[in-house]
């Protein structure tokens, strides 16, 4: 009992450190410190910790590939070029620019992951607002909220999807059958609520841009590479293959080609990639493994199995809402790991697993520390000299997340057998 309490204390303090970032310490420091403490105090065997880190290889490869793709596209000006195109097509209308930004954010999330939306689209949108001479915050908020709302359109849209389903990832046809409807609902509801909340700001006039500089050769290469990557990942998903290695190969190949053609050093790209995400994820994996030592996951699995057997519909609602709330208390990655471990052990129906995934993906739209993508978005904001407080984000999240979650779960229930 004493050892179990120690594990919970370490895991809780580390998780709160990731969320609150005391003394401005990077998020990964807290996750790694907690993981190391579990091993040092012999609360988790080092062999188990190492094996846990190793089981996340597919997620690490996916993240590395996506970050490289995004950074190459950013450095070659692809996203800035798209931002200027958005301002040009807005034709002076803030409402039209808002819609264009939202649609682009949805597409980037669906085909490049929510982390790409947070990391790369945020500075591009900021550049677009400067070009359009409008207040940036209404458009920057899109990058945060659409990153969660569109993160279950496709399996590749969110690394958390790999975590929740693990080696039991549904085939693409089955994925679309269960999640196309709920995703569409989440995207539309999130847009409508954000649009209504930003009505005063969207009455402003956007500067009109006539001349758009041509896309560089490096930018065109990046666009072609990203398009080919999307096709490859959709094919891998359709064939029920792991997505990490193909994404890693695509990211490294595109980076190498662009660097060779442009005769550039790889150091600037490597310096700007958010490598700290990898130890953060690995540390969270180990913390969840430590919590698993207490037996809580086995108890959760038993209760979840019994509930799902008695009433799959009711269980899916409860599971989706509970996981959504928990994602904001402890971040959706550890919440997703715990929920995934419990659901795999309980062998729940697809409807319940789907509700858990919706909770993990959509729930973080409530708070600023709910997901890795939102944390990355906050970091990107700070680089541009902008900031959003936790309370400020919560004011939006309280209106945006609950209706999107409820209506998405309702849609899932309607299409489930």
Q: What is the pLDDT of residues 46-90, one digit of tens each?
A: 888 888 888 888 888 888 888 888 788 878 888 778 878 888 888
Q: Pick out the chain residues at pLDDT < 50.
A: none
**What does the pLDDT read at residue 402?**
95
Spatial CA neighbour of 400 closest among 189, 248, 222, 224: 189
Classify burial at 132, counting beta carbons within 10 Å of its beta carbon; exposed 0-12, middle 13-18, buried 19 or more: buried
Q: Which of 234, 261, 272 is nearest to 69 (CA)?
A: 272
Q: What is the pLDDT of residue 362?
A: 92
98-112: pLDDT as tens digits: 999 999 899 888 887
Nearest 10 degrees: CA dihedral of 257, 262, 267, 271?
-80
How many Cα atoms are found within 13 Å in the side-chain-facing hemisphere of 93?
9
**Nearest CA among 384, 386, 379 for reference residue 127:** 384
Q: Is 92 helix (H, G, I), strand (E, B) or coil?
A: coil
Whether this model's pTM surpasses 0.85: no
């Amino acid at each position: 009992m004493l050892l179990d309490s120690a594990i919970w204390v370490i895991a809780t303090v580390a998780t709160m450190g990731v969320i609150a970032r005391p003394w401005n310490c990077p998020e990964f420091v807290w996750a790694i410190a907690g993981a190391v403490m579990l091993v040092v105090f012999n609360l988790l065997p080092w062999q188990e910790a190492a094996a846990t880190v190793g089981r996340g290889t597919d997620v690490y490869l996916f993240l590395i590939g996506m970050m490289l793709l995004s950074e190459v596209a950013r450095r070659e000006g692809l996203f800035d070029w798209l931002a200027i195109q958005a301002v040009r097509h807005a034709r002076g209308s803030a409402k039209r620019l808002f819609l264009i930004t939202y649609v682009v954010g949805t597409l980037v999330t669906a085909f490049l992951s929510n982390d790409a939306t947070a990391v790369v689209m945020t500075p591009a949108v900021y550049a677009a607002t400067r070009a359009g001479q409008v207040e940036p915050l209404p458009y920057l908020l899109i990058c945060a909220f659409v990153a969660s709302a569109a993160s279950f359109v496709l399996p590749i849209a969110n690394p958390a999807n790999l975590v929740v389903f693990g080696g039991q990832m549904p085939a693409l046809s089955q994925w679309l059958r269960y999640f196309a409807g709920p995703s569409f609902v989440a995207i539309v509801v999130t847009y409508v609520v954000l649009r209504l909340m930003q009505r005063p700001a969207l009455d402003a006039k956007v500067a009109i841009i006539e001349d758009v500089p041509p896309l560089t050769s490096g930018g065109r290469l990046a666009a072609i590479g990203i398009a080919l990557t999307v096709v490859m990942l959709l094919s891998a998903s359709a064939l029920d293959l792991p997505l990490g290695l193909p994404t890693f190969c695509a990211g490294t190949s595109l980076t190498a080609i662009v660097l060779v053609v442009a005769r550039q050093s790889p150091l600037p790209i490597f310096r700007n990639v958010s490598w700290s995400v990898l130890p953060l994820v690995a540390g969270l994996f180990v913390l969840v493994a430590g919590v698993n030592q207490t037996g809580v996951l086995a108890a959760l699995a038993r209760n979840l199995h019994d509930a799902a057997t008695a009433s799959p519909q009711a269980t899916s609602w409860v599971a989706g809402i509970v996981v959504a709330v928990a994602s904001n208390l402890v971040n959706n990655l550890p919440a997703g790991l715990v929920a995934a471990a419990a659901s795999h052990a309980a062998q729940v129906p697809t409807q319940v697993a789907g509700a858990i995934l919706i909770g993990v993906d959509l729930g973080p739209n409530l708070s600023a520390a709910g997901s890795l993508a939102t944390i990355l978005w906050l970091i990107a904001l700070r680089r541009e000299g902008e900031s959003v407080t936790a309370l400020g984000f919560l004011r939006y999240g309280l209106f945006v997340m609950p209706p999107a979650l409820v209506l998405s779960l309702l849609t899932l229930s309607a299409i489930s057998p």
